[in-house]
């Protein structure tokens, strides 16, 4: 599949697997075991989704997902990395379209994944562009992460579920919104320049979202500013 000059291909040789593992380490600088080659190889050999994104012969991205419980007919997209020079070019949308086709061919009805609720662009892409549904708030899901992107912060995540054979979940109408949860403009920069403020944002958003979810509300989307709608 190629809609932007980038090809998506299965990583089905040991050489390609090793290159994919190295790419993840290059994206998440500081973590030398982001997704070890032996784990990627095992996932691919067992029939899971392990692909590379190529610009010609150069791998510029990679993604790995694995099947969920058989009765649920789900696939969990665990990791996707794109080299910095290729980010912001629509490759995330191209990859999700590829994942969707791959899943449908195998009778999978939903794809799940997690994202950091403090990162606005990810919230917008996952909830507004794809129309995935946020299903769970996970506190410090992966523990301490040593890479340059996440270092010094707790790894809270939102779990989302994407029904690949259904229309995208719509953004709620204004009259249906019960609360708006503000998130920072650029938490990644804030972690580097003011880690104390970044931590305060983490705890504030965690408390607000968990409180809303505990009261029976759900995260319905994002507004034009990138704030979360409940």
In this predicted model, what pLDDT tens digit does every residue of 85-100 receive, in sequence order?
A: 999 899 999 999 999 9
Structure tokens of 92?
A: 């995330």
pLDDT digits (tens, 9 = 90+) for 158-169: 999 999 999 988
Beta strands 74-82; 110-115: pairing state: parallel
H or E segment and range at residue 99: helix 91-105
Structure tokens of 200?
A: 């305060």
Instruction: Give the per-residue pLDDT at 148.
Output: 62
Q: What is the CA radius of gyration of the chain?
A: 18
Question: Which of these, 145, 165, 158, lies nearest to 117 by C-alpha position?
Answer: 158
Burial class of residue 70 (count of CB atoms within 10 Å of its CB; 0-12, 13-18, 19+): exposed
Burial class of residue 166 (count of CB atoms within 10 Å of its CB; 0-12, 13-18, 19+): exposed
Higher pLDDT, 160 or 151: 160
102-105 contacts, C-beta under 8 A, 24 or more apart: 102/49, 103/49, 103/75, 103/164, 104/164, 104/165
Question: Which of these, 161, 115, 174, 157, lies nearest to 134 by C-alpha position?
Answer: 161
Worst-scoring range by mean pLDDT, 6-10, 124-128, 221-225?
221-225
Instruction: Give the per-residue pLDDT at 170.
Output: 87
Instruction: Give the per-residue pLDDT at 65.
Output: 98
Q: In whole angstroms, give the CA distance from residue 17 to residue 82.
A: 15
| Residue 2 banded pLDDT, cuts 50, 70, 90 | very low
Question: What average pLDDT does this structure show over 56-72?
Answer: 96
């Amino acid at each position: 599949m190629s809609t932007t000059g980038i090809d998506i291909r299965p990583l089905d040789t040991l050489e390609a697997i090793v290159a994919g593992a190295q790419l993840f380490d290059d994206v998440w600088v500081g973590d030398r075991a982001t997704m070890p080659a032996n784990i990627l190889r095992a996932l691919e050999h067992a029939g899971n989704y392990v692909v590379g994104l190529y610009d010609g012969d150069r791998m510029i991205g990679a993604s790995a997902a694995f099947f969920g419980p058989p009765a649920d007919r789900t696939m969990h997209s665990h990791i996707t990395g794109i080299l910095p020079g290729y980010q912001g070019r629509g490759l995330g949308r191209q990859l999700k379209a590829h994942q969707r086709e791959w899943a449908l061919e195998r009778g999978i009805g939903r794809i799940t994944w997690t994202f950091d609720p403090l990162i606005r662009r990810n919230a917008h892409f996952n909830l507004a562009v794809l129309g995935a549904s946020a299903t769970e708030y996970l506190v410090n899901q992966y523990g301490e992460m040593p890479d340059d992107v996440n270092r010094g912060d707790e790894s809270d995540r939102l779990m989302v579920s994407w029904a690949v054979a259904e229309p995208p979940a719509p953004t709620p109408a204004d009259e249906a919104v019960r609360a708006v949860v503000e998130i920072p403009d650029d938490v990644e920069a804030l972690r580097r320049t003011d880690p104390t403020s970044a931590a305060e944002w983490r705890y504030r958003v965690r408390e607000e979202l968990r409180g809303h979810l505990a009261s029976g509300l759900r995260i319905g989307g994002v507004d034009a500013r990138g704030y979360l709608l409940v």
